[in-house]
Structure 1
């Protein structure tokens, strides 16, 4: 990469020639205002505040750098083979003393650590350290050029060089005869890719970067195109047009410049744009015509000579005679920009003041907490209690399903947000913990119904379904777009998709059970099955339950952990303190609560494995009252609902007061299961004499051949399987998830009471201020003072403007 003479000379770089009159882009009465605004970009505390800037946008090789030189009276690198790899901000101020410095404003893509490192870069440009060397070092630090042996340790990331970056290199220059100028030059937009780093990824990155600058309503846009090319073939112009269709206010903050009028591809087309003759699909802003220097003229002429040559060109050129004088030449462009940018800045000032005021309030409160509160044992404990209270409030709302954000008490204008009024529950679905877990509970129920049974008993080979691997059941396969599926399709695939039941023909299955009955024999009469035979077959048919339930619990805990991370970040905005809280306190409570939930699930599985009758006692007792119904018998008409109510009341007794919301589907499933059992055993009410050996379940079409011992065992298991499954699912969702996790989470891991019980040593380990934290706090306190000074300047200008408006 080569740099022009201005960057390597030891003489004052870029000063105007003797006798040249500086053309300011900043109103002299507002120099202090623009100087104050410039400080915002250098303050880490205000990195997220957008402030008004004059931004230069255009395609590569459109003459953008030549325009900037003419405006700023400051030579820019211009080469057919050289393109800007990062935004460059130029700040020029007229003063008696010469003074020049370089620094970097980190881009939004940088991490907090990278930002801290990049903000250390910079310094004064002296004779021993010319500007060209500073720029070369900046390209290495930013990672857009390879490091040499002497640059070891300079690059931030230490990875392969980037092709482009959104970090801003700021060149601030003071000296006699300089114009008052603030502007940002962006990398040129390009279409074609090449082998010199301008690949498709780089093209998209530059496009997105420039588009973000254009979209920002704080920025004023200077759009540059070249008359060498057709109007419709400029990527930068096309981008601005598309954004203008979305935001009509963009028209009020764009000025267009057409370069290379002496090499115009179509004079008629260029005149049409300048005079507003094009159709409405062409950007309707004010356009200017500026003549560039070619490479020979640039190397031999001063900028004053450039202006004279431009004025002579327009004075003697017939083709541009009908263009108004206030649209031709660099002087006319400067006059337009100065007035337009001044009005734009004053228009954006109220919102900027409001944002800074909210930022100062938030930072002042945070520094007060982190500073004075962490200097004593009492202060550190008070700080942790405050954070714990906020976390507890969020956890209470999320676990109970009350997704209401708190009311912000800070004073700021409508439409401006601060940290206190930042919504929590509306940010993402992960915050709505109860809703997420309810969705997972339903997925668990569906997965148990689809995959819980080991075999699928068929009446004949003809009804055997197609074999295959895991498949999502119909009620888990969300028919909507996978991006809006709830729970997400990735969660369903990861936690709720298992191996399908193995299809087995009834006759073969009965023969298999008949062969195993002797192996399970006990004290029963010969030819009868023992109690163990029934239990063992049931256990074999339900051996998938532990895996399905275990995966469900994993999914629940994944959702819980995501919520805890988000809630802790909202309650504690200090990264170092948050990390210490997680490691020393929160994670310990989470591990304990997780172990308890797994122990409860293991207890349920243990009860299931050992034949615990608690899962279906209510069903078995009710079935004792069954008899063969006559047509229209009211006893059997109401029996399914009666049993469903009984199970509902039983489960509600061991769960939380909120469990009816969870258990309502269980009541319905139990009623359906009992109704199916009655239908299977007695047939339709109109049937009075039906052989039990020929009863067929209409849903499965499996004949119940109770005439054999194996048939009776299979029939008993088939009749009780679904009822036991529904009971088991209800207990897992109500007892393990609802009572064991949702009810316990707000009080089990991080509350004010837990903080108050911890030792002073533990509190100091968590909240004690480290040396690096103290240095960062001291820097933030200095920045806060500067931010307040900026605020005072802006409010003073706003007050004077309002006063002048009233007088007028």
Structure 2
């Protein structure tokens, strides 16, 4: 014998109250605009045109809905039913911004169906006039009906599908209706209430295909068959109504209704229900389960299904609202504090300047503790681009790399001529052809130093050139004396590329520094683009413009001595290097001459003289001493290269630029600004104020919604009943359909179709879901 499902009166009242409170909580979330942010549990009603969808809603609400042939509705209608001692109806247009436009309510004293229908029709026409570009309105027509015999229920009615355009329904309308339906049906939190007509061939009704698109396993779908009076004793619709049609088997089952006929438009709701009851007493329907037929059973069934669905969805809903609150709080934080008064504006700019000064100082000192310096990428990966944010943010490390590149480029490409001296008779030619030696992590910066290679000049050719210049520039010096003017002239020629290389280096470091400041301000200011642009335009860009001019002037200052001045090398070092080169040359020359003499037969004086001519500074060059000129030039070049490189790095880049970065925006600067200047920099734009107000309003709604949801928080059971359910789910997940059908046939329990699927909703296995419902 089946167990009784009858509840004591007090328990029934308590259950009804809980159902009402929970459903009204979701309605409150919707009225707060939360539905625009997260998907709320709801029942959406879909069906083909002429499927009897409007008649179903009328029967559920006991309210006559207006309809005009040829009008393609392009918005959703929310129907809310609530229990009340008296009857009333309220029509509201809820806009996309959650604003509401209320139409005059109707209560028991003026509840005229014709008048009510006219008001609803006017509301529909008003909404149709403001359809968006895509032909679909974001607004919702909200109809709330109260009465003593109403169940607590909320439905969202969508326009009916149609396949062919007519004189009154365009081809564009087909896509509009589909697009609107897809938007609602795709929401995983929605129950889909599918309406099909028993009057028409089931295969010609397209709503099933659209349902399968969004709910392929039928886990969140309930079907309703209308116009049951057209269904015969052998109709396919009877198999469908028993939920035995494999293609259309829904977890929430099917329900059967009888609609008003065309000549019953004026009969009362009671008469309509009586005619339906009479039909279901006929042989065709008499043995059909009472809870699966008739409008009264449908109201209760939908109310219970929505309640169970909302209760199960509540933990997910709470978590989604929490995530949205966190996201909005982060957006609000990026906007910074509200500011309108001079004090608020100055405080806002002072806060920015303090953080900027601190982080800029950390950057040039190499203290990379703040989150600003540590991006998601890893420097060790070796895949960072030269302009990646992490490299730009760690400014000291980057400037050191650039200085390394600058020095190496100066060392290997700074000279205009590479002297080809295979025998090392005058100098170590290996130094002249040394390729740049960079760590792999630094090589990527070479692209910013586009410097041509030195020109290769044979030593003999250069000696002859200097001989020629010495002849032209002879003065009153004694024969064999060094012409220092020639050495200075050759140095200037050899160092002629220094300016271009140093200019490239200064430009690269300046650009990198500006990118660093841009990134730092973006980090500090966040999404306040107006303040960012104002500070960049009025403070940062002028700073770097001034620094570029200063650095150009500093470069000219550091070059002036090498371009126009007289050499002033440090004497001890200069003498030491010259002496070292002299000893090295004498050693190499003596050894080479010795080897040549030993390899020859005894030499005549003329042969020995010819061999002496093969060496730099040989017999006929003694008068000009050209080798000595070159050696003086090279020693002066090497000493000057180090000094010039250090001066560019320290006196120019470091002193004139890098150390000045924290002063771009510092608190003392803000203190010295007039109120008007502060306002120009950080005054809040109207759109930012609007964005802050919108975020604050949304946060208020979300927090209020979260508090409402917490009142209905579901606590997981820990007793034996829960263990039984979990064990049943674990055991039956892989149960075959045949085994389950056998268990169903032998079971004495009666299955409540709208509760068994919801109890395990979302497992992905309908058999396991049904089995779990039995176990629980």
What is the TM-score when the length of structure 1 is the normalising length?
0.51
Q: Is the 1:40–1:787 Cα contact (8 Å) retained in structure 2? A: no
Question: Aligned partners of 2:498 and 2:422: how far apart in 1?
Answer: 27
Match of 2:509 among 544, 551, 556: 556
Q: Is the 1:102–1:171 Cα contact (8 Å) retained in structure 2? A: yes
1:705 pairs with 2:616? yes
Deviation at 1:406, TM superposition (A): 6.6
Q: Is the 1:452–1:545 Cα contact (8 Å) retained in structure 2? A: yes
Question: Aligned partners of 1:307 and 1:519: how far apart in 2?
Answer: 124
Question: Aligned partners of 2:125 and 2:616: how far apart in 1?
Answer: 97
Q: Which runs of 5+ in 2 are unaligned?
A: 1-18, 58-73, 82-88, 99-119, 146-152, 159-181, 193-200, 257-291, 293-301, 373-386, 424-432, 597-613, 723-776
Judging changes above 3 Å, is the alpha-carbon distance between structure 1 residues 779 and 431 closer, same or farther for their aligned structure 2 residues? closer
Query: What corresponds to 1:28 in structure 2?
Result: 23
Q: Is the 1:693–1:704 Cα contact (8 Å) retained in structure 2? A: no
Query: What corresponds to 2:345 in structure 1?
Result: 380
Counterparts of residues 471-490 of structure 1 (less than 5 Å): 475=437, 489=444
Query: What corresponds to 1:80 in structure 2?
Result: none
Question: Aligned partners of 1:182 and 1:433: how far apart in 2?
Answer: 60
Question: Aligned partners of 1:572 and 1:499: how far apart in 2?
Answer: 43
Query: What corresponds to 1:393 in structure 2?
Result: 358
Question: Aligned partners of 1:428 and 1:345: how far apart in 2?
Answer: 42
Query: What corresponds to 1:512 in structure 2?
Result: 465
Question: Aligned partners of 1:682 and 1:308: how far apart in 2?
Answer: 121
SS at match of 1:738: helix
1:94 pairs with 2:80? yes
Judging changes above 3 Å, is the alpha-carbon distance between structure 1 residues 472 and 104 closer, same or farther for their aligned structure 2 residues? farther
SS at match of 1:524: coil
Counterparts of residues 153-552 of structure 1 (less than 5 Å): 170-175=138-143, 179-180=154-155, 220=188, 287-288=217-218, 304=226, 312=237, 315=240, 321=246, 325-326=250-251, 343=312, 346-347=315-316, 349-350=318-319, 352-353=321-322, 356=325, 359-360=328-329, 363=332, 369-371=337-339, 374-376=340-342, 378-405=343-370, 428-459=390-421, 475=437, 489=444, 492-493=446-447, 495-521=448-474, 523-525=476-478, 530-552=483-505
Deviation at 1:394, TM superposition (A): 1.3
Question: Aligned partners of 2:128 and 2:365: how far apart in 1?
Answer: 62
Match of 1:593 among 537, 541, 547: 547
Q: How many residues align?
A: 515
Deviation at 1:750, TM superposition (A): 1.0
Alignment RMSD (CA, Å): 5.9
Question: Aligned partners of 2:708 and 2:94: how far apart in 1?
Answer: 28
Question: Aligned partners of 2:545 and 2:75: how far apart in 1?
Answer: 51
Judging changes above 3 Å, is the alpha-carbon distance between structure 1 residues 752 and 627 closer, same or farther for their aligned structure 2 residues? same
Q: 1:689-737 CA distances to partner (integer Å, 9 max, x unpaired)?
A: 677999xxxxxxxx98344433333333344434432332232223322
Query: What corresponds to 2:69 in structure 1?
Result: none
Deviation at 1:564, TM superposition (A): 0.9
Q: Is the 1:100–1:125 Cα contact (8 Å) retained in structure 2? A: no
Question: Aligned partners of 1:779 and 1:472: how far apart in 2?
Answer: 60
Match of 2:706 among 776, 794, 799: 794
Question: Aligned partners of 2:713 and 2:694: how far apart in 1?
Answer: 29
Deviation at 1:176, TM superposition (A): 5.5
SS at match of 2:453: coil
Match of 1:604 among 558, 562, 566: 558
Q: Is the 2:616–2:627 Cα contact (8 Å) retained in structure 1? A: yes
Query: What corresponds to 2:655 in structure 1?
Result: 739
Q: Is the 1:220–1:341 Cα contact (8 Å) retained in structure 2? A: no
Q: Which runs of 5+ in 1 are unaligned?
A: 1-23, 42-49, 56-63, 75-87, 106-123, 141-167, 184-209, 225-259, 264-269, 275-282, 294-301, 408-424, 462-470, 479-484, 630-677, 695-702
Question: Aligned partners of 2:228 and 2:481: how far apart in 1?
Answer: 112
Pick 1 or 2: higher relative contact order, CA cutoff 8 A, min separation 6: 2
Which range moves more in the overlay, 346-355 or 535-544?
346-355
Q: 1:14-41 CA distances to partner (integer Å, 9 max, x unpaired)?
A: xxxxxxxxxx9x9725414642674484
Question: Aligned partners of 1:325 and 1:501: how far apart in 2?
Answer: 82
Question: Aligned partners of 1:532 and 1:608: how far apart in 2?
Answer: 13
Deviation at 1:551, TM superposition (A): 1.0
SS at match of 2:556: helix
What is the TM-score when the length of structure 2 is the normalising length?
0.53
